[in-house]
Amino acid sequence: MEKYNIQDKEKFDKLMWNKESPSEIEKEFYKKTEKYIKYIKWIPGIKMIGIWNSISMNSATKDSDIDLLIVTDNKKIWFVRILITFIFQALWVRKTPEKHAWRFCLSFFCTLNWLEFSKFKLEKDPYLYFWILYFKPILDFKCTYNSFLEKNNWADYSEFTNIIKDNKKYIKYSKQSKIYEYINIWEIMNKIFKKIFLPKTLNSYKKINTPYWVIINDDLLKFHNWDIRKEIAKKMW
């Protein structure tokens, strides 16, 4: 089990320029996220949406984008991804190569089958450890956040229960509409969207020389432009 202590956290926070509490700029990012999740929370198959990286770690700047982790039901990841992308594009809040500040980065989707992030963990991975610790759920249906923590029991957070408790205060949406549970076309739509958009996604992946940190399968779509985990691990020790 991977475990870090208070001193390790202080070292990590110093490396990442993290603050102890959110500033006004982070609070504004949270408000914006709550506002726009309202437009997508009805989408069938969504289980959890939250904020990663600089905002969740209290190190955002006025030029930061909003990194989201979006968890879906099994066999609905492509359906959810394409609908959210379309809606955020229509609302002019999706990150683009030209415009990224204050926009949403839709680079991380996973299904309930892939909540266990040890599947792509490095041998020593302090960044992933603190990435999970600082994650702030904004939408949490059927206690998916608790399941997320349980699935990642390779990480011992016993010294940071206060942070986990604080994270839960960020949950704004926890009641899921049940109307879509009685309609069975979503998995069919998922297959159609996958067939249409997977070739384009794989082509983009090849253009950036297939880096190890990009993962594309039926349960995980991880598209980050760069992975600093190895660099952080070296700097921690």
Compute the distance between CA of residue 229 and CA of residue 227 in angstroms, rounded to an integer: 6
The domains of the chain are located at: 2-236
Question: Are 52 and 167 within 8 A, CB to CB?
Answer: no
CA atoms within 13 A on the CB side of 24: 0
pTM reported for the whole predicted model:
0.93
Question: Are 132 and 118 within 8 A, CB to CB?
Answer: no
Instruction: Write the CA distances from 153 to 4, 140, 148, 186, integer angstroms.
Output: 13, 19, 9, 31
Question: Are 129 and 4 within 8 A, CB to CB?
Answer: yes
Question: Tens digit of pLDDT for each residue in 109-154?
Answer: 999 999 999 999 998 999 999 999 999 999 999 999 999 999 999 9
Question: Tens digit of pLDDT for each residue in 172-226?
Answer: 999 887 766 656 788 888 999 999 989 888 887 676 566 667 889 999 999 877 7
Give the pairing of strands 66-72 and 104-105.
Answer: parallel
Tokens of 207: 């253009």
